[in-house]
Structure 1
Amino acid sequence: MEAASRKTKPTFGFLTVTDHPQYGLFGGYLVLNMAGRPLEFHCTAPIKPNRAQEILYGRTLEAFIYGEQIGQTLINQSSTSTQLVFTDREPALAARQHVSAPLVMVLPSDPRIMPPVEGDSAAAAESAKTFRLDTAHDGGPRLALFQHGGNRLALPERDDEDRRLIVERLAELDESFDLSEPFERIREAIEEARQAAR
């Protein structure tokens, strides 16, 4: 009875992929509690697409590797379910169609790197000088941008129905929480694991 009456503590997942020139792609997934403490960490062995995959998958190769092979595998292997999964790698958003938790991308905080979030007029004026979108190539899905505290976030427009759920679940997270910081922890842990495996 007591266990059933306790509310489940919110947890958040952080997924990233690093590219090592010699070994290939390493994926890492970190689950944190509301205080930013780690509950679980998983990482992949290196993945290096072969030439046949590069030819056959073409421009969809990154979404396949980041989203299906790495993201889906790491998220589904976790024993802790999360309210949201954050990523800092756009191709990893492709994992959304294979996992139950909404996926949202954490953008760089510098608006010169990515377009400004609606309502950020000072950043919009500065960003207009330095940011350009080329339509000469198919760059993947259009992103819907929004903000939580100082965090700039995005999700594919096709997943816009997730936006309400994301905003609702983010309300439980303090706006001062830096959503980009856990990705540094993941990258350092992957590098540590890679060096230990040598």
Structure 2
Amino acid sequence: MEFLTIGFLGIYRFEEGAAIRGAILITDTETKPLEFRVTGPVRPQKFQEILYGELLNEHISVELIGLPLLSVLQQKPNLIIVRDILFLEINTKQEIPTVLMLKEDEALLKRGASTKPLNPEDSGRPPVKICTLSQFEPKLEEISHQLQPIFLNRDLMEPFNRLEKACADFNSRNEGNN
């Protein structure tokens, strides 16, 4: 598997947590934008919070944000990078490998998951680590190996800042609010 395109998938909360938006940025290996998609705001109702309980955030992340965003992409990425562990459940519902990227000192909230470091000394950036669910865990070494030269030249955390700003801009202009 050689990376030609990378998807950066994020979830963001607005209006004191009442509105949730997701976005995906598809880039080349230089992190230059190729395609961008953002969801309308998801506004869970009290009744949904009661019915879904602790599953609500996973349901919103995967079923209402992640999968719909992936389904409308014109350019499918070869790899998806996420910062929210709930998005890893997308691995069980589609075929594009999805990895969680964490700062080196961030704790992994799921026991037993293995991580691979990305920390080329010449990059001048803080080291990060990646992990994934069992379905793609055998490919984690290969994914790490292929991300190393990209990480050497590009901050792979930075596209998430772009996503957050783009979602905030959409939300402030009330785009997609019905």
Q: Tell me whether the two structures share a fold, i.e. TM-score over 0.5.
A: yes
Structure 1 pair 174–159 and aligned structure 2 pair: CA distance change class (3 A)? closer
* TM-score, length basis structure 2: 0.81
1:88 Cα shift?
A: 0.7
| 2:26 match | 31
Q: State yes or no: 1:89 paired with 2:77.
A: no
Structure 1 pair 72–162 and aligned structure 2 pair: CA distance change class (3 A)? farther
What is the SS of the residue equivalent to 1:29? strand
Query: 1:140, 1:55 → 2: CA distance?
Result: 25
Q: Which amino acid is 2:170 matched to?
A: A
The structure with higher relative contact order (CA 8 Å, sep 6+) is 2
Contact 1:105 1:155 in 2 (8 A): yes
Contact 1:75 1:99 in 2 (8 A): no
Give 5+ residue unaligned stretches, structure 2.
Answer: 120-126
| 1:144 match | 114
Q: State yes or no: 1:102 paired with 2:72.
A: no
Q: State, as a whole percentage, how many aligned pairs show the same letter.
A: 23
* TM-score, length basis structure 1: 0.73
Q: Which amino acid is 2:150 matched to?
A: L
Contact 2:10 2:160 in 1 (8 A): yes
Query: 2:89, 2:3 → 1: CA distance?
Result: 27
Aligned residue pairs, count:
166
Give 5+ residue unaligned stretches, structure 1.
Answer: 1-7, 116-138
1:22 Cα shift?
A: 5.6
Answer with 1 or 2: which has the greater Rg.
1
RMSD of equivalent CA atoms = 2.4
Structure 1 pair 156–142 and aligned structure 2 pair: CA distance change class (3 A)? farther
Query: 2:139, 2:48 → 1: CA distance?
Result: 31
Deviations 1:72-97, CA, capped at 9 Å, x for gaps: 11122111121110011111111122
Task: Trace 1:185-196 onto structure 2 (pairs within 5 A).
Answer: 185-196=162-173
Query: 2:34, 2:40 → 1: CA distance?
Result: 21
